[in-house]
Amino acid sequence: MNGVTGRMGTNQHLLRSIVAIREQGGVPLADGGYIYPEPILVGRNPEKLRALCERTGIERMTTSLDEVLQDDFYEIYFDAQITGRRYAAVKRAIAAGKHVYCEKPTGTTTEEALELYRLAREAGVKHGVVQDKLWLPGMRKLKRLMESGFFGEILSVRGDFGYWVFEGTSIPAQRPSWNYRKEDDGGIMVDMLCHWRYVLDNLFGKVESVFCLGATHIPERIDEMGKPYAATADDAAYAIFELEGGVVAQFNSSWVTRVRRDDLLTIQVDGSRGSAVAGLRECHIQHYGNTPKPVWNPDVPQPIDFYDDWSQVPAQEEYQNAFKVQWELFLRHVVEDLPFPNDLLEGAKGVQLAELGLKSWEERCMLKVEKLSV
C-alpha cells in the first residue's frame, strides 16, 4: 500500500477499508473461506509509516518500493500517492507482475492513463481504479429509484459539490497545498471531473459532450510551512454535460463556496414522474402527485415551504463504507475472478473528461467526448 500516509490513504483505504476487513476476519468467499489481506505500508517518511504500523497493528513497512515489488509474497500493488507520482509507480508494479488497484486520476494525461490500461492488459494482471461514490448510500438509493421506474423519463441531473477551504491565513487549510498548484497536478477540475465521469456514465447515461468553465477565485494561499504561495490551479469548475438519451447534467464543483444545502455533495435528478435529491447518505423524493403548484409573485411572502412536500427514502439495506465495499469487490476479483468493471480503462475515461474540461475552459467551447482508442 503506497501513499497511505496521506489523509485519504490513511482514513479511507487503510483504517476504514483494509484494517476494517482484517478486524472482521477477512472477506467471505463463496466456498466458505476468507480473504485476509496482509499489507505492507510503503512511503517516503519512515516516522509516519512507523506511527501507522503502531496504530493499526500492521507489522510491515518499507521506504523502498523497488524492494517490495520484487517480493513474490505481495500480489497486489495499491497506489494512493499524489497524482504526479502514480503513473511511474503503477507502471513499475505492472512490470513486476502485480495486480493493480489505485486511486484516481490514474495519470496526468489521458495517454498516460491509457498506457497503464494497455500494459496491464498485455501483462495479464487484474486492475482496478477507485470509484467510491458509486457505493455511497445516497447514490445507491438513487440507483434503486431508477431501477423501480420512479423518475419516469429522466430529464436532467444537477450536482453541487464543495465547501469553503480556508486559505491558511488565520485558520489552517483543510486540504494540502499541492491541490492548488497546477505545476503539482492540482486543480478541482482534474480531481472532480474524474468522479463525475463514472457517476454519470454508470447512473444516468454515457457522457457525450462537455462544456466547462474553471476559475482560480483565490490567487494566494498559505502552505503547510506557513509560507504564502501562488494558487495556480483552478479552485472552482462549472460544467455542463450532454448525456446519451438527451439527459442534460450540470455540476458545480468548488472549494470556495459556503454550504447551505443538505450535504457537501448533493445530486438532484428531475424526471417526468418524480424528482430526487441525494446526498452522501440520505435521499429525498417528490413524486408527481406531491408536486406543489407555485405561482410567481414577489410582492407577497412565499406561501409554500418547498421542503414540506419531500419525503425521505428509508434505509432498505445495509450500507458499509464505500471504499471498503469496493476493496472487497476487488479482492474477490483477484481471488475468485469475479467481474470488476471499474478497471484502468474506466479510470482513463475520467482523465479524458478532465482534460476535455480544461480544454473547454481554454477554448470557451463545448467539446465532444470521443470513444477512447485501445
CB 340 within 8 A of CB 35: no
Residues 6+ apart with CB under 8 A from 110: 348, 351, 352, 355, 372
**What pLDDT does residue 127 have?**
98
Give the H/E segment covering residue 241. Answer: strand 236-243
* Amino acid code (one letter) for 96: A
Strand partners, 77: 100
Same domain (yes/no): 219, 337 = no
**Total domains in the fold of the chain:** 2
The reply to whether 347 falls in a domain is: no
Same domain (yes/no): 125, 140 = no
Same domain (yes/no): 173, 247 = yes
Same domain (yes/no): 235, 263 = yes
pLDDT more than 70, % of the chain: 100
Same domain (yes/no): 207, 292 = yes
- Residue 188, helix vs strand vs coil: helix
Same domain (yes/no): 182, 246 = yes
Same domain (yes/no): 126, 250 = no
Same domain (yes/no): 249, 117 = no
**CA–CA separation, 148 and 69 (whole Å):** 46
**What CATH number has the domain bearing residue 26?**
3.40.50.720
CB 135 within 8 A of CB 322: yes
Q: Residues 180-208: pLDDT tens digits? A: 999 999 999 999 999 999 999 999 999 99
The reply to whether 2 falls in a domain is: no
CB 329 within 8 A of CB 320: no
**What CATH number has the domain bearing residue 227?**
3.30.360.10
Range of the domain at 248: 134-321+352-363
Q: Residues 270-300: pLDDT tens digits? A: 999 999 999 999 999 999 999 999 999 999 9
**What pLDDT does residue 374 have?**
87
Same domain (yes/no): 99, 235 = no
Does 324 have pLDDT greater than 90? yes
pLDDT more than 90, % of the chain: 98
